[in-house]
Structure formats: structure tokens, C-alpha cells
Structure 1
Amino acid sequence: MSSRQLRKLERQRLENSATPEPQEDVDDKPQFNVLNPPAKSFNAFAFLNDDDVDDNDDGNEDEDKSDTQYQPLPKTESKPKKKLKKLKKLKSASNIKQTEGNSDDELDKVLAELEKERAFKNSSQAQELVDPEEEEDWEEEYDISNVPVEHCDVDFKFFTTKRLQLSLSLLSIQDVQNLDPDYELQALFGKLSMETIDDANSTTSLAISPEVLQQFKKIARLTRGWGGKDRKSVPGTSRKLLLTRIKDDYLPTTIKPMTMDEISAPEPLVEYFIYKETNMNEPKLERFHYEISRLKKESSSLGVTYFEFGKVDSSSEKAADAMFIDAVVLYPNPEVLMRQLQTNPYHTPTLLQTAMVLLRQGDNKLAANSLIEKALFTFDRCFHPSFHTLLAEGKTELIRLPYCRFMNRQFYLCLFRYIIGLGERATFSTGTAYCKWLLALSPAEDPLGVRYFIDFYAMKAEQYKYILKFVESPLATTYEHWLTPGLAFSSVLALLHLNEKEKAKERLKLAYNRFPYLSYKLLEVHSHQDSVKFKATPSACEAVEAETYLVRFGALWENAQHRQWLCDGLVELFNTQTITSGQKNKKSMFSALQDMLGLTNVEHEIPSNLVRFAILSGEGRIMARLPQDIFSRDDMMEYDPLPPKSSNVGGSIDGIIGGGGSAVTDVLMDYVDPRLLSQAVELRLTAPPEAWSDEEN
């Protein structure tokens, strides 16, 4: 029976009764003495509204006042809100028994519904918050382990809140200026004049006629709040850009190309963690409690905040998505993609994909990097105020972006591409800061494999002590595969640069035991040693991991003395040491990630973040080591490689996630209107190429 019907019965009872029921009848129930009843009469059905409305819903609260003159019982602070609601419902059911005029059947139905709801909330599907005093117990058993965990669980339970807290300083950029390459150039070459900086920032991303450029400048003068003297002002907000500056060929507009929201409620956030559940028959209540506890501890004690980018629900954005799918997926055509930038200059997937086309076809790095920076500008202007504040204070260690959302993945991809451009400009300190931030967005999952290349930028920036702290922190010691070849061998090189050869020798021994195949390849390729033999056949994962370091070995080990020291040390280890750890059990290490990666051949056993890094790096030697059937997957898209897929279909968090769907994970096709896609295909087939860019949205 609904609360509206119960209120109607209450009004009928009041009309037939001269006086309301005595207050003492309710207070005689000792089991509910935790509530303090008011002196005045009350509405016995007031608490049944909790089934349908929230306590803070003003609209429904007015409706209740119009139905009855009684006021609900005051709330107490001695019980948690969830438990208080249960007591309210049980007490209201008890009050119903005191009401004359209700039939026994109606009472039985109400009590049965309440009992059914209470039983459901106590089942494995319930979403009850754990008590604060119980939260410490959830991670205590995982904090005990002092050795790297061999098996990788999808929830990364061993990377506890305590271990995260120990790692926060390594994920912080300290100052937002560290994300500005101009700031690093000034530190390297002295203070640059504003004219020089302005001249560099005015460079156009693509070839543009002087007439069109003058039109853009005229529109900029008419668009209030666009640019400013520092080129960091955008309309609609008083906040300044933090990552980019506005260039002359950026079309002035007051319309934001995307949205960004803060996700504060812990319950919906749990969906971001448990969507990878593969065993639907296993009870998930304990897992749910663990995730709730961890999120509450992160947000309360550490200040970690979760955000999410979303797509704008507009006709132009939907048309741009349809054109992009047609030009990239259905019928790849770079020319159509280039034309789309004229009509949709801030469509992020188009900007990032066009940049890769320019690199592959013309090796035009300048234009490609400019387009990537323009894509970064589209995110920069849409930052949430809380996100903007944390970033402005340099607190990147407190910012999280769930990788399961498409627009979040576009931001990951944009940062990855931008880091590569910073390396090409030799601004390695800025690149290291962006690596820290990219890893901080999801430090446990590390979806793009930052651990495979952060050592390169840190070593080139001569941040040797940072590398040593990193390899000794929980970021590299919690799980066995978190210690990548780059971190293992770069820590040896860092100690050599610090002239600590004894410690370097011990660190080399650890790297040798962890990566014996890579140790052999280093001797074979770079020293041509014939005295060392390695008979074991490497797995696919070992081969890919080894190549991620071999391609950068020459750029890191430039000192001939250091290289000779390494070769002599490895020869000695091969002759005297027995391999005690390392790749001894690859099949069990990544078994938990097989469903996420979706590989049909279990011999592959390559973690998804390593596959994404191999694809996005563009290094042919690394990609050649990947199994060929990976490239035939239907979700191996350059603009979104290996998107996460929800094994637990039906997890919906409407109201928290915007965009085109309610599932936890999404892809670009979820936002494409089939009708607009049909029109795009028809236009391509019937109209001449000159008319493709003139399509009306």
C-alpha cells in the first residue's frame, strides 16, 4: 500500500473520530524509546514518506503539510541516518496497529512490505554503509603484507588507504607552474621576453589564410572575456586557464564543448569499482562494504575527490559524433576528418585523431602537437570549480577520474599525447609533472601504463632521487608487476649518477632476478656477449615488457662507463646467481585481468594497460611484440584502445553519470544518433566531397 493511500485512510479515520488517538498509546512501546516524542499530537503515517521521498525534498514536504496538520517526530543525532529510517518505518508500522478503521489485511500487507524491504537491504545486493568503527577492519588484513603481491586483483585491495597516503607526495606536482613548459624554458634559458612567448603562443595549429585569421581576431574582440592580455581568459567564468593559452586560430565562442561534474556520494562511486565483477554467483556484499569503506576513508582523511567529464547534449555535438564515426570507423577518410575541424573545431576525438593522421602521413609534428594542445584547451576551459582549485594548488594527488567513462578516457589520451610532445621539445621536467598527474588520476589501475615510461622523463630531467623514492614506495612494491623494467633498471642508473655503486650493485641484482630475459637481451644487443646463454623462452608479456625498455636504453645509458659497468655486472650475475623470482608464474599473475582484456588465448596474458601503452606509444618495435590477434579486435580503436567493458551489465547510476547511457562503462557509439549516422553515410555516398563539410547540423 502506498503512502498516499495510507494518508487518505488517516484522513477518513480523523473525520469519523471526534478526537485523535492518545499520545500515550504510542509511547507505551519500550522498544522504540530511542525516539523522543513531542508533547503535541502527531501524524502516525508521516514516516512512511521515507519510502518515496528524500528528507530534503522541499516539494514533497509541502504536499505532506497540506495533507495533515501533524508534524513528524524530531530527528535524533544518536543513530546513523540509514538506521534511523529503519526505526521510523518499524515505528510507523507499530502505530498502524493503534489506528482504528484499518483492516487486518491492510496491516498485514504493510508489515509484509516493510519486512520484505528490510530483508532485501540485509541481502547481498544491499547498499548499506558500514559503521565508522568497522571501517578500520576492512583494510587491516591487506596492510600486513610486506612483500609484493604476485596475483593482481581487479579491486587492488592491497593498495590500501594507508599505502596511498604514503604515496601522495610522489603523485603531487607541488605547483601548477610545473605544468607550464614556458616556465621550464625560462628556468633553462633565462627569463624570456613576453614578445617571444606571445609569438610562440600565436602560432596557428593548421594552415589558415590571413583573411580568416583576421576574422577570428575580430570575433575575439567582440566576444567579451575571450583571451585577455595573458591569453588565459574564457567567457562564462572568472577563472583562468591553467594548462594552455588561447592562440589566434582558436575560434572565439561562449559555448563549452563539454561538461564536468564532481561525484561526491560514495554509494554511486562504488559502481566504478565493482563493474569488473565477473562471477555473478559470488555474493558482493563484502566487496561493496570494502569499497564504501575505502572511498569514505579516502575522501574524509585524505581529501580525494572524484570527477567526470560529460558530453554536451546538443545537435551539433551529436552530428560531430556521427561524422567522426563515419570518417574513422565505417569509412576511414582523413580528408573528411580534416574538413570536420572547420565545422566542429572543438570536437575532442576529431582533434586527437587528426593529430595522429598528420603524424603518420606527413610527419608534421608541429601541427599535430598544436592540435593536441587545442584538445587540451577544450578540457582546460571546462574544469569544474573544485577540480580547478585542486589543480591550481598543485594537489594533483587528490584528483581522480574513473577510466570507465568515455570522455574521461579522452582526457587520459590527451595528456598521454601531450606528454609525448613535451618529450620531443626536450621539456622533460614538465613531462615528468604530467606523468605524475596522469598516474594520480587512477594510481592503482594505471590504465595507460604510466609506470612503463615515467622513469624515462624523470631520468632525462635528472630527478634521480624521485626515481629511487618511487621504486621504494607502495606505487612500485604493492604488486609484483608494478615494478616495471624501466623502474627496475633506471633505479640502478640513478644510483650510478649519485655515485652510490654499492647500492647500485644490490639494485641490479634485484632487477636481474625480476627481469632475467631483459637482462639477457641487454647483454646480447648492447655488448654482444657470447659467454652468456639464456635457454628459456620468454612469454608474450615478457617480450613486450622487455621491448618497452630496450627502445629507450640508448637514450638513458649514454655514459660509456655506466654502460660497461652494467654489462660487467650482468655477466657476473649470470655466472654466479640463480634466478629466484621474477617471471616464474605469469599465468597466475594476470589471470584476474583476462576478462578485462578479453583475450581468447590465455598464453598472451598481457595486462590491458601494457597493451594500451604499446599501441599509443607508436613504437613499431613494441607493437611488433604484441600477439597479432590483438589488432583484429573490434574495440582496438586508436581514439579509444581497449575500452573497459562492464561484466556486471545493468549497473546504473543515473543522475550521476551524464551522457547517452546509464551503464557504468560507455563508448562513443553510445552517444551517436542512428538517424544522424545514416545521414552522414548517405551524404558521403551521394554528395561530392566538396559538400561534405557544408552539412547542416
Structure 2
Amino acid sequence: LTITNDESWIGSECPFLCQYIRNLNPETELKRYFGARAVQGDQRPRQRNRQYHRSTWMTSPKDSWPRFSRPGISMTLLQSKDGIQFFTFEHGRDYQQVQFKFLDAVESMDPNNIVALLQLNPYHIDSLLQLSDVCRIQEDQEMARDLIERAMYSFECAFHPLFSLTSGTSRLDYLRPENRAFYLALYKHMMFLEKRGCPRTALEYCKLILSLDPDSDPLCMLLLIDFLTLRSREYQSLLQLHQDWEEHRNLSQLPNFAFSTALCHFHLSQQEDVDPEESDKERHKADQLLQNALIMFPGVLIPLLDLCTVQPDPTVTSHAFFGPKSQIGQPPALAELTALYVGRTHTLWREAAVMLWLEESVKEVLRRVDAKDPLVEDCQNKRKQRYQSAPRNIHRHVLLSEIKEATSSLPLEVTSQPVMGFDPLPPLDSVMSYTRPERQHVGATNESTLSLFFRSLLPNFNFQVSCTDQAK
């Protein structure tokens, strides 16, 4: 299974990856929903110490933040080629020493050590990311979000003058560890925006992350972008993306695109300002695409209905095509993708009109299966040939998603190794610009409840073993 290909087709002209800078500010979206007066009225008066903060696009510096001094991160332009600029973040010598102390703090398994490090280095990126995860686990969402915004502010203050957030032509290599934290900060910020009810702004950040390395797509934004586009009701945008990228990226091989493009056409057919002829055309296309998606990915249906708390018709559950075998017989990578799609997007299918459309399509699919439609056997062969193993970036995306239906489908080689929030599943061919000095291992002692929370981020965490170790 692959969803990546040659980048030569992604030149400087790639409209989908371009955006307006104002759309990266959630206030733009909130003003559309609630009006400018309501949004501005919620903002506190500026304090005097605000003058110490530099104006930035991605986040608004807060008066409660520590005074900013450059932490030792810079950005360098590596090369320009065919209208594309390749950049990288670099760590100064002092920052490298702080990074080594951070790794020591992580190995201590005590978040208090990271807190102490941040008190001395309030804009150290990885410490901000890791402590944000701890706050989120403790359900302190406001602090978790604030720490991510502080990390993004630190990054933006280090941008190269030619680095562009909106052109879609600035690249950052994920193989370099210094660049990964920027990807992760953007991802976490994007998810906070989506949960705050700003799906359009979250979509812009999703496009930004994808634009940083559209060839490798290290965080697999193509597995998420359809959901955010549907939530933003940008139906034509998703269909245009599918049309432009299908030839080079095989998007139709992904369950999320197979079902989401069908949903787009269905919603377009339901719009009030569409003339009847155009509506019928969109509905016919939606029916065709949904039936094809169900034939290609039959394992989606029953888990989707379960999460929508809908009891399927007995004729569906008793039929071999949609029965238990459709889930059990899925290749490993397909089971992972299916679980991810269902866990993330089931809320989009709960609408009564959508569910009725799904029901009608399922009946038509069963009719086609019983009639020995050649597409059924063709899709069965494709499922056997593809999806045997997922690439590392898909596993990384599933871990970051924290969707339990998907994380439970991860293979043993992923769940049996420690996964740290500041660098989940690092690439096996990382490009290291500096290395950590040898250090004698010091075991963690007197582990606190907070430390157990911290360790529980790891997929292979065993609470009973941890408690036994402490008792020794």
C-alpha cells in the first residue's frame, strides 16, 4: 500500500496548497459565526508588557507568557529548485544542551523535571509539546492548548524571511529531527482548533502541514483532510483535490476518499440553490460512488452503523458480503485504515437523510453482489493484493489520532516499542545534524501518579508491571 509518489508533478502551481494568511487565524472563522463584536469583546485589554512580543500570524502572544528571548532556533534556506524552496530549522549550541537535558528529563519518567526545565527555558519546543500532552491527559485543555501556541510562536519568530506559510512552495524535510517538532506543533494546534469548533481554520493548517512535504506526507494529512473539508462544507474543494491528485496519489485506494467523495456529491445534491437537473446529476454520481465504495470496502459498514447506534437490517447482517467475515478477512493495513475512517467520521453519517441514502445504497449493493456483478470479484482481488502492510507514516498518523478503534488495529511491531509524544515513530533513515553524548542510565524511582499518566502515553505501558517494579 502506498499513497505517495513522485513529487515532480507538484510544482510551484498547486492551488489547493495555497491559502490566505488570514485563514490561519481562528478569529476569522469565529467572526463569521458570532460577529466581530462578540469575538473582540471577549479579548482582554492589552497590557504594557505586550510590547516585548513580536507580532505573528499563527498565534497571538499572550500577556501571561514569559518574556520572549530567542531560544536558539534558526531557519536556513538549503536550496531553491523549480519554484520550490527547501528550508530547515537548526539548533544553536546552547539549545542543543537544553535538548540533551530534555531527553534526560523524559528518561526520568517524571514530568516535574520537564516543568523545571521549562521554568529556565520557557520557549523550549519539545518540552512545551511533551508537557502539553501531560496537561491534556489531566484534562487541562486550556493549558495544553496554551503550551502548543507558545511553541508555535517560538517557531514563527525563527522563520527565514523567504519562508511562506501560504504559497504552498516552502518545504521542510521530516527526516531532520529539528523540523519534526514544527509538524507536530501544527498538528496538535490543528486538532485543538477542530475541537473548538473551527473546522475551516483547522483545514487550513492541515493544508499547511501537507504543503511542507506533499511527497512523503509524513503525518498522513491525506487521511484527515477529507474529514475537515466535509466539516467545513467545502465540498467542491475536496472533489477538486481528488480530481487533481488521483492520478499521482491513488487517492481512491483510501477508504476515506472513496466514501467522502460520495458524501460530497450527496450534499451538493441536497443544496437548495441547485436546479433539479443538476441535483439529480449529483445524486446519481453520489449513488454510484457510494455503491463502489461499499463494494471495495465492505468492512466499513457494520462498524460505522455500530458507532452511529443504528441497528442494521437482518438481511444485511446475515449476508456473507457485509457479515463478520468482511471485517475478519480484511488485510492488516486495510483494517487499520477502515478503523481510522469509521472512528473519525461516523458523526458525519448520523444525519437522517444521509443514513437513509446509505440504507438505499446498501440494498442496491447486495442486489449487485447477488447478481454476480464483475466489480465485486475485481474489488476482492484488489483487497488481497494491496493493503498487506501500511507504511510508517500511516502508523504515525494513527498514533497521533488517538482514535481507539484505530490504535487497537496497529501491528505488534508498533505497539511493542516505546512511542514518545515529542517524536512518534521517527523515520528509520533520519538525517542527524548532531548527536547526544553518552550518558549513564539512571532508573526512575518513587514514581508519582502523574508519572504513571505520563508513561501511559506509551502503547506498551503495563500498569501492573509498573506497580510491581515500584514495590521492589
TM-score (norm 2): 0.81
Q: Which whole-Å deviations, capped at 9, do the CAs of 1:525-574 have from their partners, x for residues lacking one?
A: 64423323233511211111111111133321232121121122023213
CA distance in 2, matches of 1:511, 1:527: 21
Q: Do the aligned partners of 1:176 and 1:242 also contact (CA within 8 Å) in 2? A: yes
Q: How does 1:334-483 map to 2 (within 5 A)?
A: 334-360=111-137, 362-387=138-163, 390-391=164-165, 394-395=166-167, 397-474=168-245, 476-480=246-250, 483=253
Matched, 1:168 2:1: no
Give the CA deviation at 1:671: 3.9
- Residue 376 of structure 2 is matched in structure 1 by 579
Q: Do the aligned partners of 1:261 and 1:384 also contact (CA within 8 Å) in 2? A: yes
CA distance in 1, matches of 2:185, 2:44: 24
Matched, 1:613 2:410: no
Q: Which whole-Å deviations, capped at 9, do the CAs of 1:53-81 have from their partners, x for residues lacking one?
A: xxxxxxxxxxxxxxxxxxxxxxxxxxxxx
Give the CA deviation at 1:347: 0.9
Q: Which amino acid aligns with 2:29?
A: E
- Residue 277 of structure 2 is matched in structure 1 by none
Give percent identity, aligned residues only: 27
- Residue 503 of structure 1 is matched in structure 2 by 285
Q: Do the aligned partners of 1:612 and 1:641 also contact (CA within 8 Å) in 2? A: yes
Alignment partner of 2:376: what SS? coil
Q: Which amino acid aligns with 1:503?
A: K
CA distance in 2, matches of 1:482, 1:576: 21
**For the structure 1 residues 194 and 187, does the alpha-carbon distance in structure 2 shift closer, same or farther, using more than 3 Å as the test?**
closer
- Residue 226 of structure 1 is matched in structure 2 by 52
Q: Do the aligned partners of 2:11 and 2:84 also contact (CA within 8 Å) in 1? A: no
The count of residues paired between Structure 1 and Structure 2 equals 419
CA distance in 1, matches of 2:12, 2:293: 23
Counterpart of 1:332 (choices 99, 105, 109) is 109
Q: Which amino acid aligns with 2:320?
A: K
Give the CA deviation at 1:195: 5.6
CA distance in 2, matches of 1:580, 1:607: 26
CA distance in 1, matches of 2:378, 2:8: 24
**Structure 2 residues not aligned, in runs of 5+:** 270-281, 370-374, 447-472
Give the CA deviation at 1:589: 4.7
Question: In angstroms, what is the RMSD of aligned CA positions?
Answer: 2.9
Q: Which amino acid aligns with 1:484?
A: L
Give the CA deviation at 1:575: 3.0
**For the structure 1 residues 248 and 618, does the alpha-carbon distance in structure 2 shift closer, same or farther, using more than 3 Å as the test?**
same
Give the CA deviation at 1:587: 7.6
**For the structure 1 residues 633 and 386, does the alpha-carbon distance in structure 2 shift closer, same or farther, using more than 3 Å as the test?**
same
**For the structure 1 residues 152 and 562, does the alpha-carbon distance in structure 2 shift closer, same or farther, using more than 3 Å as the test?**
closer
CA distance in 2, matches of 1:334, 1:197: 33
CA distance in 2, matches of 1:197, 1:257: 34
Give the CA deviation at 1:477: 3.8
- Residue 196 of structure 1 is matched in structure 2 by 41
Give the CA deviation at 1:411: 0.6
Give the CA deviation at 1:520: 5.1
Q: Do the aligned partners of 2:194 and 2:202 also contact (CA within 8 Å) in 1? A: yes
- Residue 547 of structure 1 is matched in structure 2 by 339
Give the CA deviation at 1:165: 4.5
Q: Do the aligned partners of 2:29 and 2:201 also contact (CA within 8 Å) in 1? A: yes
Give the CA deviation at 1:312: 1.7
Q: Do the aligned partners of 1:527 and 1:567 also contact (CA within 8 Å) in 2? A: no
Q: Do the aligned partners of 1:349 and 1:410 also contact (CA within 8 Å) in 2? A: yes
Q: Do the aligned partners of 2:2 and 2:391 also contact (CA within 8 Å) in 1? A: no
**For the structure 1 residues 581 and 379, does the alpha-carbon distance in structure 2 shift closer, same or farther, using more than 3 Å as the test?**
farther
CA distance in 2, matches of 1:446, 1:255: 30
Give the CA deviation at 1:482: 6.4
CA distance in 1, matches of 2:405, 2:3: 30
Give the CA deviation at 1:502: 0.6
Alignment partner of 2:44: what SS? helix
Q: Do the aligned partners of 2:71 and 2:124 also contact (CA within 8 Å) in 1? A: no
Q: Which amino acid aligns with 2:35?
A: G
Alignment partner of 1:400: what SS? strand
Matched, 1:559 2:351: yes
CA distance in 1, matches of 2:381, 2:432: 36
Counterpart of 1:257 (choices 72, 77, 99) is 72
> Which is further off, 505-514 or 441-450?
505-514
Give the CA deviation at 1:153: 9.3
Q: Do the aligned partners of 2:89 and 2:179 also contact (CA within 8 Å) in 1? A: yes
- Residue 427 of structure 2 is matched in structure 1 by 644
CA distance in 2, matches of 1:665, 1:582: 39
**For the structure 1 residues 527 and 495, does the alpha-carbon distance in structure 2 shift closer, same or farther, using more than 3 Å as the test?**
farther
Alignment partner of 1:260: what SS? strand
Q: Which whole-Å deviations, capped at 9, do the CAs of 1:375-412 have from their partners, x for residues lacking one?
A: 1111111110000xx33xx31x1111111011211111
Q: Do the aligned partners of 1:449 and 1:613 also contact (CA within 8 Å) in 2? A: yes
**Structure 1 residues not aligned, in runs of 5+:** 1-150, 203-216, 228-232, 234-239, 266-298, 591-602, 647-663, 687-697
Give the CA deviation at 1:629: 3.3
CA distance in 1, matches of 2:24, 2:147: 18
Q: Do the aligned partners of 2:12 and 2:84 also contact (CA within 8 Å) in 1? A: no
**For the structure 1 residues 249 and 312, does the alpha-carbon distance in structure 2 shift closer, same or farther, using more than 3 Å as the test?**
farther
Q: How does 1:623-662 map to 2 (within 5 A)?
A: 623-633=407-417, 636-646=419-429
Q: Do the aligned partners of 1:403 and 1:409 also contact (CA within 8 Å) in 2? A: yes
Give the CA deviation at 1:166: 9.7
Alignment partner of 1:491: what SS? helix
**For the structure 1 residues 344 and 463, does the alpha-carbon distance in structure 2 shift closer, same or farther, using more than 3 Å as the test?**
same
**For the structure 1 residues 441 and 586, does the alpha-carbon distance in structure 2 shift closer, same or farther, using more than 3 Å as the test?**
farther
**For the structure 1 residues 607 and 685, does the alpha-carbon distance in structure 2 shift closer, same or farther, using more than 3 Å as the test?**
closer
Q: Which whole-Å deviations, capped at 9, do the CAs of 1:573-632 have from their partners, x for residues lacking one?
A: 133144255574568657xxxxxxxxxxxx6x1221210111111222211111233122
> Which is further off, 403-412 or 529-538?
529-538
CA distance in 2, matches of 1:180, 1:308: 24
Q: Which whole-Å deviations, capped at 9, do the CAs of 1:626-652 have from their partners, x for residues lacking one?
A: 123312235x32211121122xxxxxx
Q: Do the aligned partners of 2:252 and 2:258 also contact (CA within 8 Å) in 1? A: no
User: Which of the pair has more CA radius of gyration?
Assistant: 1
**For the structure 1 residues 582 and 454, does the alpha-carbon distance in structure 2 shift closer, same or farther, using more than 3 Å as the test?**
farther
Q: Do the aligned partners of 2:344 and 2:403 also contact (CA within 8 Å) in 1? A: no
Q: Do the aligned partners of 2:296 and 2:379 also contact (CA within 8 Å) in 1? A: yes
Q: Which whole-Å deviations, capped at 9, do the CAs of 1:329-366 have from their partners, x for residues lacking one?
A: x2211222222211111111110011111112x11111
